[in-house]
Structure 1
Amino acid sequence: MEIRNAHFPGRAPLDAYGNGGFRFAQMSHKGSILCVPSGIYGWNVSDASAFSEEAFEQVLAEQPDIEVLLVGTGLDLCPLPAHLKDMFREAGILADPMSTGAAVRTYNVLLSEDRAVAAALLAVD
């Protein structure tokens, strides 16, 4: 897995999603993204079947600053595998899978409330 340099170093609401990408902070990104306290990163995961411990390394690395992880699983809800749910629970992170659209909306609300939130979002067309 490769996480590229932050497109935006810090937290920002997501302005739009769809067409295979996201818009935020007057920027756009084609593909999936990982929103953590240190920034918004390109995320080389394009399907929920590719969710692995390695895919979420950056989330775990920033764990003290993350209480809730919203996992946008694409157009439809896909449950997280049990071993990932256990991994997040042991780290003290509530991982909540939902469609990408619902995750974007929830992320923006929690971010506006200054909550310790992160999001792993699969791009949708």
Structure 2
Amino acid sequence: MRLNEVSFSDAQPIDGYGAGFFRIGGQVHQGAVLTSAAGTSAWGGYADDAPLLALAGEVDVLFIGTGAEIAHIPADLRKTLEGAGLGVEVMNSPAACRTYNVLLSEGRRIAMAALAV
């Protein structure tokens, strides 16, 4: 089996997560986060749509992590994000972290907003 080292060009990979935190690019972030090639910052949850809308035109897909369990996001949030041209994929936060890293390693234009587990 051939192994290749994965390199991340623009954004930082998600190194891990746990109860109430994410470790992204070697740095621990408490609570909900938003991460993309532009950097990582705290995210205020579903009501905090302004930083998500700012990603329109910068990313093709926004992964939304719903915490430990998969759940629906508010319908008006989905409608607003999709209306701005963002592709929205909702999954639990562990799956969002894994999927984000895989697509990031492929050089895709992605972002992730996730609630902590």
Scaled to the shorter chain, the TM-score interval is: 0.7 to 0.9
What's the counterpart of residue 23 of structure 2?
Answer: 23
**C-alpha root-mean-square deviation of aligned residues, in Å?**
1.3
What's the counterpart of residue 114 of structure 1?
Answer: 107
Number of matched pairs: 108
Offset of 1:121 from its aligned partner? 0.8
Distance 1:36 1:65 in 2: 9
Offset of 1:81 from its aligned partner? 2.0
Query: Does 1:85 find its partner at 2:99?
Result: no
Between 77-86 and 14-23, the greater mean CA deviation after superposition: 77-86
Q: Tell me the secondary structure at the aligned position of residue 57 of structure 2.
A: helix
Distance 2:18 2:25 in 1: 16
Is this contact kept in 2: 1:37–1:62, CA < 8 A? Answer: no
Query: Does 1:74 find its partner at 2:67?
Result: yes
Is this contact kept in 1: 2:63–2:100, CA < 8 A? Answer: yes
What's the counterpart of residue 59 of structure 1?
Answer: 52
Is this contact kept in 2: 1:66–1:93, CA < 8 A? Answer: yes
What's the counterpart of residue 42 of structure 2?
Answer: 42
Deviations 1:65-94 (CA, angstroms, capped at 9, x unpaired)? 111010000111111222122112211111
Larger Rg: 2
Distance 2:114 2:61 in 1: 14
Percent identity for Structure 1 against Structure 2: 39
- Where has structure 1 moved over 2 Å in runs of 4 or more? none
Task: State the TM-score, normalized to the length of structure 2.
Answer: 0.85
What's the counterpart of residue 33 of structure 2?
Answer: 33
Is this contact kept in 1: 2:62–2:111, CA < 8 A? Answer: yes
Is this contact kept in 2: 1:74–1:121, CA < 8 A? Answer: yes
**Unpaired stretches in structure 2, ≥5 consecutive residues:** 1-9
**Which one has the bigger helix percentage?**
1
